[in-house]
Amino acid sequence: MRKNNLKGWLYLLPAMLFLGAFMVYPLIDVFVYSFEEGYNFASQTYFDIGFYNFSYVLHDTYFLQALKNTFLMVVITVPVSTGIALLISVGLSAVKPLRNLFQTIYFLPYVTNTLAVGLVFMILFKKTAYSDGLVNLLIHWFGGASVDFIEGPYWAKMFVMCFYIIWVVMPFKILLLTSAIASVDRNYYNAARVDGTSAFRIFRKITLPMISPTIFYLVITGFIGAFKEYSDAVALFGTDLNAAGMNTIVGYVYDMLYGDSGGYPSYASAAAIILFVIVLTITCINLLISRKLTRGFS
Amino acid sequence: MKVVLQNLTKTFPNRSRKADGDVVAVKDFTFEIPDGKMVGLLGPSGCGKSTTLFMICGLQEPTAGRILFGEEDVTSLPPEKRGVGVVFQNYALYPHLTVKQNIIFPLQNLKGTEKLTKAQMEEKAYEAARLVQIEALMERKPGELSGGQQQRVAIARAMVKMPRVLLLDEPLSNLDARLRLQTREEIRRIQKETGITTVFVTHDQEEAMSISDVIVVMKDGVVQQTGRPQEVYDNPVNLFVAKFLGTPPINLFDGNVRNGRLYIGGADVLGVEGAADQDVTVGIRPEGFILEDKGPLACRLSGIEVMGRDISVVSAHDASLNPAVRSVINAEKQVDTGGEMVRFSLKPNKVLLFAKDTEERVY
């Protein structure tokens, strides 16, 4: 028995070593940094221990802007992308011919490089010396005034940002949802049809509850993913996100560490801890809600 | 409500690229299910029995032929307009709804003048639940019920709209042996109590024989024989039906008929007046053997299985088409287990003769 135990630990050792060195230790370190005031990498010194880093970060207008941006992105993109993905998946499940073609098309963004997607969005939205971007052409065509989506008003930039995020995260959601819908036992639908259930009621009363675990999974991971948003913002607005007013929390952390104003590991750590607490809280709430709603499922 | 099937045919497009032509699931099925009777569609898997059931309930559209409920042609009606209740093989109970919500589900779909109030729905649901004796389980989820209880809930859900025809797809196949016995009596009771025309599908001949008023034996989409269970058992029209019905299965021998006498392995075993001289496949039901010291059919004894009421004598014979000849004999008879040979005479009405080529019954 003991020998078996030893063997088990031995098998776990490589993974534990890696996780410990690259995940657990840095996590603890970040936590420690966040309380060390004015920590300096080079001299490995700090002035004091306390909550000053948090206080500074929470009063920093750049951080507050990043916080606001991130929250807006989360609140807009998660429900919208999940909702649209659900609609598309239901549609995909309903059509027989060309289903594979559509599935491939919808999945393309998933295998496309973020920066390539950013380039495409530039063509769509960015004003240059030669053109106002394709979307502006459309707006003109309908008689509207041109909008600068990349360097213009906040709402326009936020719109492009959310559009971009939704477009990028959708394929994965569609993939999971179509397979979830396909795995619902045909007999439930047969039984419902015999009873003359309307298509909408079948969707609401049978399909939706049956695939709800997948939906909750997507919402939870969607929240986490959106809170960690950074690279997509860079792809659209460049590396100086503070100037564009489109920074995110992760972007703020990065800037504090390596940006122009870099060299502040203590502030970066405090901001990272704040993000961690937010994500943890929201995920716990999500889990509680999903447990409550899917209770009694086999 | 009698159900009439006229020349019912269903073909599916062939999925295999090599083979040409459509797959015929059901071919030219004509049959009248009498009002208030219980009919068992019986056959091996792939014989088209489930397809027939799904055509009656409207989930599949026949390629040709008509379906009538009474005098009304329902061939092109959608399932909900036919007034059928269906119990699916795995019951298809909605796992996220309680038993009560499951039973009420069909009632909530009613529209227009048929629409019921909440109280009426409850009342009907409890009525259906009483019929299958599950009133105590109304607030449970299907996952918390045993297989037999789930089966009852499925029946209650199928019955709650008072359908004209009740259809059951392999109703007992998910239950263990003891529960199967109990549930089949239960289904029979419910059917008798409501007088509802019932069609059920099974591959288990014992199940079909025990509770059906009429059985329909199918093979490869073609109806082989219809009739009362005992009738079909006693007088199968061909070798397939004879082999499919009965446990233990019928014993088969190579034999031939000469001058009105049946010979098996050279031994003159029985008089078969009226049968033409020819080589035949002989089918002898297990209960058709009489243990007799001077019996004409001599078999090598290989063992005896005691089953309480009966004993089963297992033996071998050179002309036998099965590895073992199995005969069922009353347990009160003494069998000499020490002997090497065992001799039988045969009961004339338990011996069936089939043509070698067509497998049709010839005697």
Q: What are the tens digits of pLDDT across the range A224-241?
A: 999 998 888 888 888 888
The A residues from 189 to 228 touching B (CB cutoff 8 Å) are 190-198, 201, 205-206, 209-210
Residue ranges of the alpha helices (H) in chain B? 49-57, 79-82, 99-108, 118-132, 147-159, 177-194, 205-211, 229-234, 239-244
Question: Looking at CA atoms only, how far is residue A213 from chain B in angstroms?
Answer: 12
Q: Among all chains, which residue has been given the structure tokens 């960690």?
A: A228
Tens-level pLDDT at each residue, chain B (363 residues): 889 999 999 998 877 666 667 888 898 999 999 999 999 999 988 888 989 999 999 999 999 999 999 889 999 898 888 889 999 888 899 988 999 999 999 999 888 778 888 898 999 999 889 888 888 999 999 989 988 889 889 999 999 988 999 999 988 887 888 888 888 888 898 899 889 999 999 988 888 888 899 999 999 889 999 999 999 999 999 999 999 998 889 999 999 898 889 999 888 888 888 888 889 999 999 999 988 888 898 899 888 888 888 888 899 998 899 888 999 988 777 776 777 888 899 998 999 999 988 888 988
Question: B161 vs A297: CB contact, 8 Å cut-off?
Answer: no
Q: Residue A129: CB partners within 8 Å, gap ≥ 6?
A: none
Question: Looking at CA atoms only, how far is residue B29 from chain A in angstroms?
Answer: 23
Instruction: Select from A193, A198, A209 the Cβ nearest to the Cβ of B79.
Output: A193
Assigned token pair, B168 = 């059951």
Nearest to B218 by CA among B36, B61, B8: B8
C-alpha to C-alpha distance for B210 and B38, rounded to whole angstroms:
11
Assigned token pair, B253 = 């021998």
C-alpha to C-alpha distance for A239 and A247, rounded to whole angstroms:
9
Instruction: Select from B88, B109, B142 the Cβ nearest to the Cβ of A196.
Output: B109
Assigned token pair, A53 = 């880093």
Q: How many helices (H) and strands (E) does chain A have?
A: 15, 2
Question: Looking at CA atoms only, how far is residue B145 from chain A in angstroms?
Answer: 12
Question: Looking at CA atoms only, how far is residue B75 from chain A in angstroms?
Answer: 15
C-alpha to C-alpha distance for B81 and B104, rounded to whole angstroms:
18
SS3 A235: helix
Instruction: Select from A192, A198, A296 the Cβ nearest to the Cβ of B96.
Output: A296
Chain B residue closest in CA terms to A201: B109
B207 close to B32: Cβ distance less than 8 angstroms: no
Assigned token pair, B326 = 């199995």
C-alpha to C-alpha distance for A294 and B293, rounded to whole angstroms:
71
C-alpha to C-alpha distance for A245 and B277, rounded to whole angstroms:
103
SS3 B319: coil
Instruction: Select from A187, A201, A294 the Cβ nearest to the Cβ of B92.
Output: A187
Nearest to B23 by CA among B40, B36, B34, B10: B10
Identify the residue among A96, A188, A189, A195 best suited for mutation to test binding to B, counting B beta carbons within 10 A and taking the highest: A195
SS3 A285: helix
C-alpha to C-alpha distance for A12 and A8, rounded to whole angstroms:
6
Cis peptide before B323 (omega within 30 of 0): no
Q: Residue B323: CB partners within 8 Å, gap ≥ 6?
A: B316
B258: enclosing H helix or E strand: strand B251-258
Assigned token pair, B315 = 């033996």
B268: enclosing H helix or E strand: strand B267-271
The pLDDT tens digits for A193-216 are: 888 888 889 999 899 999 998 999
Question: Looking at CA atoms only, how far is residue A294 from chain B in angstroms?
Answer: 8
C-alpha to C-alpha distance for B162 and A111, rounded to whole angstroms:
54
Q: Among all chains, which residue has been given the structure tokens 């009656």?
A: B56
Overall size of chain B counted in residues: 363
Identify the residue among B74, B86, B96 best suited for mutation to test binding to A, counting A beta carbons within 10 A and taking the highest: B96
pTM over 0.80: no
Distance of CA A145 to the CA centre of its chain: 32
Nearest to B64 by CA among B26, B113, B9, B109: B9
Identify the residue among A189, A194, A293, A295 best suited for mutation to test binding to B, counting B beta carbons within 10 A and taking the highest: A194
Three-state SS across A143-210? CCCCCCCCCCCHHHHHHHHHHHHHHHHHHHHHHHHHHHHHCCCHHHHHHHHHCCCCHHHHHHHHHHHH
Chain B residue closest in CA terms to A212: B96
Instruction: Select from B92, B96, B108 the Cβ nearest to the Cβ of A191.
Output: B92
C-alpha to C-alpha distance for B42 and B246, rounded to whole angstroms:
13
Q: What's the complex ipTM?
A: 0.79
Nearest to B342 by CA among B317, B323, B319, B318: B317
Chain A residue closest in CA terms to B155: A191
Please give the single-letter amino acid code of residue A79: P
The pLDDT tens digits for B44-78 are: 888 889 899 999 999 999 999 999 998 899 998 98
Using a CB-CB cut-off of 8 Å, the residues of chain A touching B94 are: 188, 205-206, 209
How confident is the model at residue A84, as a pLDDT?
Answer: 94
> What number of CA atoms fall less than 13 Å from residue B136's CA on the CB side?
3
Question: Looking at CA atoms only, how far is residue B153 from chain A in angstroms?
Answer: 13
SS3 B21: coil
How confident is the model at residue A292, as a pLDDT?
Answer: 81
Using a CB-CB cut-off of 8 Å, the residues of chain A touching B58 are: 194
B65: left (phi over 0), alpha (psi -120 to 50) or beta: left
Instruction: Select from B88, B96, B142 the Cβ nearest to the Cβ of A190.
Output: B88
Instruction: Select from A185, A195, A209 the Cβ nearest to the Cβ of B80.
Output: A195
Identify the residue among B59, B100, B102, B109 best suited for mutation to test binding to A, counting A beta carbons within 10 A and taking the highest: B109
List the domains of chain B with CATH numbers: 3-244 (3.40.50.300), 251-362 (no CATH)
List the domains of chain A with CATH numbers: 52-95+160-297 (1.10.3720.10)
